[in-house]
Amino acid sequence: MSSRLEMHHYETIVAVSETGSVTAAAGRLHVSQSAVSHRLAEAERRLGGRLFERRPSRGMQPTPAALALCQAAHRAMPDLARAERDFMRSVGGTTATVRIGVGSYDCYHWLAQFATASVDRLEGLLLELVVVGDAPVQRLADGTADLVLAPGPAHGTCEAQHLFTDELVLITHPEHRLADRTWIGPEAVAEEDYFTYNRQPSPGFEYERFLRPAGVSPRTITVLEQTGAIAEMIAADFGVSILSRWAMSPWLESGRLVAVRCSRSGLELEWSALTRIETDGDAPERQVAHAIVDWLGNAKQAWTSPTLGN
């Protein structure tokens, strides 16, 4: 059975899902607002149902029936882009491929800006996205990834370059009872339905540093392996989570989600660029790692959290 939708429909669905508005989606896709509206209307006509609904203070949100479609589009788009790059590499012009992953959080909102700013410096290098989950060291060791942007404690078995200081924050719906707090203590999570992306707590993250010392567990815990899916569920007011502020920045900037500091002083989260320790200094993955570090400094990207401790 052939798909009823075309690529531009799925691109539009992903953009509206992530930004929460037709206007923001149009800006991301570099098309007019009317073009976005037309694509959505055409997709709904072909599928025979509503894809999004507008809610006060929440913006455009996927309908319950469309949530699985949005998640499938999020997974499929990187796979299709990778297949296109593989084809382009096979017909010439590429000298090396660097496989990049993001540890713990499946967030790539930074990649397009970085690639655009570094196009001359990385000429001939093809950047390929891979999934590393919460096992960045293993994915480097088994060759799945060449370079991983990883949060949390640095690993002695890898070469690590510091990138920036982030913050672990409580992520809530804008109208959630905790959304207007300046900060929360761990006990505030005890009565919440909680989403997490891993089945076992990772060292150096919220459970070890915030919840366990207080002897606190959420009321319910649901595992969703993709943080994008967690964000959508929280945006629909199904629960809360403690996640990287930077990873959630597209949803926070659109106003669909709210971040609340964990503890009065906050929970710092360091990000590093990891490569295999035996990698040559002039290897393509090291070149990309250096380019990311330089880009962060030169472009002055807002990847860091507000100053902790204030």
> What's the CATH code of the domain at 283?
3.40.190.290
Assess contact for 285 and 182: CB atoms under 8 A. no
pLDDT for position 225: 87
Assess whether 122 and 267 both reside in one domain: yes
pLDDT of 83 > 70? The answer is: yes
Mean predicted confidence (pLDDT) in 45-68? 88
pLDDT for position 300: 47
Q: Which residue range(s) make up the domain with 62?
A: 7-72
pLDDT of 208 > 90? The answer is: yes
Residue 20's region, left for phi above 0, alpha for psi from -120 to 50, else beta, is left
User: Within a domain: residue 91?
Assistant: no
pLDDT band at 267 (very low <50, low <70, confident <90, very high): very high
To the nearest whole number, what is the mean pLDDT of the chain? 87
96 class by beta-carbon count within 10 Å (0-12 exposed, 13-18 middle, 19+ buried): middle
The SS3 of residue 61 is strand
User: Within a domain: residue 39?
Assistant: yes
User: Within a domain: residue 177?
Assistant: yes
pLDDT tens-digit readout, 142-159: 888 999 999 988 777 788
Cα end-to-end span (Å), the chain = 57
Mean predicted confidence (pLDDT) in 70-91? 74
User: Within a domain: residue 226?
Assistant: yes
Question: Total domain count for the chain?
Answer: 2
pLDDT for position 213: 95
Assess whether 55 and 174 both reside in one domain: no
For residue 30, the domain's CATH number is 1.10.10.10
Assess contact for 252 and 166: CB atoms under 8 A. no
User: Within a domain: residue 175?
Assistant: yes
pLDDT band at 309 (very low <50, low <70, confident <90, very high): very low
Assess whether 162 and 308 both reside in one domain: yes
Assess whether 259 and 137 both reside in one domain: yes
User: Within a domain: residue 83?
Assistant: no
Chain-centroid distance, C-alpha 78: 13
pLDDT of 79 > 90? The answer is: no
Assess whether 43 and 105 both reside in one domain: no
Q: Bigger pLDDT: 106 or 188? A: 188
Mean predicted confidence (pLDDT) in 49-59? 85
User: Within a domain: residue 2?
Assistant: no
Q: What is the percentage of the chain residues whose pLDDT exceeds 90?
A: 49
pLDDT band at 296 (very low <50, low <70, confident <90, very high): confident
pLDDT for position 301: 45
Helical (H) or strand (E) element with 169:
strand 158-172
pLDDT for position 93: 58
Assess whether 53 and 113 both reside in one domain: no
Task: Give the predicted TM-score (pTM) of the model.
Answer: 0.67
pLDDT of 299 > 70? The answer is: no
